[in-house]
């Protein structure tokens, strides 16, 4: 059954918690709101009839200019470690949890407006989002979903002629992002550091009841699953060349979702130490540091939840350490399986990590295009010793690569690999299309004129990034020279 804006199944479970965890706040109306783009796939998650996007009320509701019937808007409280330093007061400074909606399957979805005006946590800022960052988040959340990586989603972009100052004067926009929950590691940290330990249990019990019912009354089992989900997420990021850019603990989802798309990027030329956020001068969140930062972040969550594990800290610490010890194996298993799949190996053999690392080192030294190299590797054949067509064009040290191919072919032949079957399997895990920065920038520039055609094209590709889409071949190319140094920052 398709629903209208007037009869969505509103389910404000988070807003029913005590006001220790949020502040009630109304969105600030956005002048002259206009719908720029609507995501029918996301609408299906809440059983919303896509025709509702044509109503004038839609842009008003999802810009914060008109109430959603039954909604109880709140701004969520949290704190966190930002670039390794504790910041005691954060919270939703430009995001408002408009409502929670339950679909016919019983799934609950947060409807959160990002850019809907100031909240008690805005710290003097205007609470607005600019069109540039809104388009990037909208596209990337759907790109990650298309890649099969846990992520928030996005329903719509609403624009306005209103201007705000960032590096320059920019137009504002509001994205409606969706997730089963927007609770973060920092949602627990804030109460631990305030020594308000009694507030940890109601929040944990809410999260467990809503999202981990198998762990009701079992904080060890719950935290173990959170830590393992986070470890697997780090592995998935690494295997598609995704760089988050701001892996602060307040940007880490308690559900193991990719959360808060500010400065991010997919690797073009492979540099293991790539820093996608030019604000990150020390490279804390470089590509190759993401797994260790993920480990550090979950250790902060475990510290914040020590009172749930035992009232006696000395007894709680070894329990937390035992949970933390699960991260390493979960990450190692997931990332090794991911790399094996990317190079088409069905079986696990002891020397596989050496083979994988040798390829990555070759790519790093020659700054090979990350996405194209893995995609084109599926063209290599084992029924010949001829040079590897296609993928060879992505490599600078041909002699070293040809030597690696000898070992790779031998490894494939050891498991009687069939070239056609292997190509199908590899192309199912190595995307042809990712949201490269220059593609996002092209969509932003078009959107600034009110043209959503590039957003629509990218949504088509990013929903099915493993397909060929021959009419869009240019979108799989390396970025042109003039677009290889696009910089993004925390305002992106």
Active-site residue flag, 218: no
> Which tokens sit at 291?
């797994």
Question: Residue 126, annotated ligand binder?
Answer: yes
Gap between the Cα atoms of 241 and 131, Å rounded: 25
Question: Residue 437, annotated ligand binder?
Answer: no
**Own/partner pairs, 208-215, CB within 8 angstroms, 24+ separation:** 210/13, 210/108, 210/180, 210/181, 211/180, 211/181, 211/254, 211/255
Question: Residue 260, annotated ligand binder?
Answer: yes
Q: Quote the crossing angle between the two packed helices 290-304 and 327-342, to the nearest 10°.
A: 150
Residue pair 171/159 in contact (Cβ under 8 Å)? The answer is: yes
Catalytic residue among 20, 49, 205, 250: 250
Q: What angle do CA 120, 108, 7 make, to 5 degrees?
A: 90
List beta partners, residue 34. 159
- Residues with Cβ within 8 Å of residue 421, at least 6 apart in sequence: none
Question: Residue 127, annotated ligand binder?
Answer: yes
Beta strands in 166-256 (DSSP E): 169-179, 242-243
Question: Residue 94, annotated ligand binder?
Answer: yes
**Burial of 473 per CB tally in 10 Å (0-12, 13-18, 19+):** exposed
List beta partners, residue 10. 101
Question: Residue 184, annotated ligand binder?
Answer: yes
Residue pair 201/174 in contact (Cβ under 8 Å)? The answer is: no
Beta strands in 27-107 (DSSP E): 34-38, 74-76, 80-82, 85-87, 95-102
Gap between the Cα atoms of 109 and 102, Å rounded: 6
**Own/partner pairs, 419-422, CB within 8 angstroms, 24+ separation:** 419/381, 419/382, 419/383, 422/344, 422/378
**Burial of 383 per CB tally in 10 Å (0-12, 13-18, 19+):** exposed
Gap between the Cα atoms of 159 and 182, Å rounded: 23
Question: Residue 393, annotated ligand binder?
Answer: no
> Is the four-CA dihedral 215, 219, 224, 226 of positive or negative sign?
positive
Question: Residue 284, annotated ligand binder?
Answer: no
- Residues with Cβ within 8 Å of residue 56, at least 6 apart in sequence: none
Gap between the Cα atoms of 117 and 69, Å rounded: 20
Gap between the Cα atoms of 110 and 232, Å rounded: 23
Gap between the Cα atoms of 358 and 432, Å rounded: 22
Residue pair 143/11 in contact (Cβ under 8 Å)? The answer is: no
Q: Which residues are annotated as a binding site for ATP?
A: 91, 93-94, 114, 126-127, 177, 184, 260
* Catalytically annotated residues: 250
Q: Which residues are annotated as a binding site for Mg(2+)?
A: 251, 260
């Amino acid at each position: 059954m398709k629903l209208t804006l007037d009869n969505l199944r509103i389910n404000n479970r988070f807003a029913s918690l005590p006001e220790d965890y949020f502040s009630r706040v109304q969105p600030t109306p956005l002048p002259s709101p206009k719908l720029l783009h609507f995501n029918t796939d996301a609408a299906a998650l809440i059983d919303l009839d896509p025709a509702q996007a044509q109503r004038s009320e839609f842009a008003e509701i999802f810009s914060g200019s008109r109430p959603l019937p039954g909604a109880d808007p709140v701004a969520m409280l949290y704190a966190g470690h930002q670039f390794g330093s504790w910041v005691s007061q954060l919270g939703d400074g430009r995001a408002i949890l408009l409502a929670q909606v339950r679909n016919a399957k019983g799934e609950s979805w947060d409807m959160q407006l990002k850019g809907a005006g100031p909240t008690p946590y805005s710290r003097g800022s205007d609470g607005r989002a600019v069109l540039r960052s809104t388009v990037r988040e909208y596209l990337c959340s759907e790109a990650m979903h298309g890649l099969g990586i846990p992520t928030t989603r996005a329903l719509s972009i609403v624009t306005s002629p209103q201007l705000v100052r960032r590096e320059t004067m920019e137009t504002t926009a509001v994205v409606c992002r969706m997730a089963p929950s927007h609770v973060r590691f920092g949602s627990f940290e804030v109460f631990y550091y305030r020594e308000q330990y009694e507030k940890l249990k109601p929040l944990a019990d809410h999260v467990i009841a809503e999202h981990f019912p198998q762990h009701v009354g079992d904080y060890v089992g719950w935290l173990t699953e959170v830590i393992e989900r986070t470890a697997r997420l780090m592995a998935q990021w690494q295997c598609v060349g995704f760089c988050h850019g701001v892996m602060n603990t307040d940007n880490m989802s308690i559900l193991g979702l990719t959360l808060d798309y500010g400065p991010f990027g997919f690797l073009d030329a492979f540099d293991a130490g790539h820093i996608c956020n030019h604000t990150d001068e020390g490279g804390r969140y470089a590509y190759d540091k993401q797994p260790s930062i993920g480990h550090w972040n979950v250790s902060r969550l475990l510290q914040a939840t020590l009172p749930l594990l035992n009232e006696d800290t000395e007894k709680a610490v070894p329990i937390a350490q035992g949970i933390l010890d699960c991260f390493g194996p979960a990450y190692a298993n997931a990332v090794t399986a991911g790399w094996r799949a990317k190079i088409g190996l069905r079986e696990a053999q002891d020397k596989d990590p050496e083979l994988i690392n040798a390829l990555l080192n070759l790519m790093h030294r020659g700054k090979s295009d990350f996405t194209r190299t893995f995609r084109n590797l599926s063209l290599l054949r084992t029924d010949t010793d001829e040079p590897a067509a296609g993928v060879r064009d992505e490599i600078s040290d041909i002699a070293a690569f040809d030597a690696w191919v000898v070992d790779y072919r031998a490894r494939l032949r050891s498991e009687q690999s069939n070239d056609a079957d292997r190509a199908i399997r590899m192309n199912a895990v190595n995307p042809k299309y990712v949201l490269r920065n220059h593609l996002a920038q092209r969509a932003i520039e078009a959107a600034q004129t009110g043209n959503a055609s590039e957003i629509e094209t990218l949504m088509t590709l990013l929903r099915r990034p493993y397909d060929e889409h021959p009419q869009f071949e240019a979108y799989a190319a390396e970025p042109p020279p003039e677009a290889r140094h696009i910089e993004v920052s925390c305002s992106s």
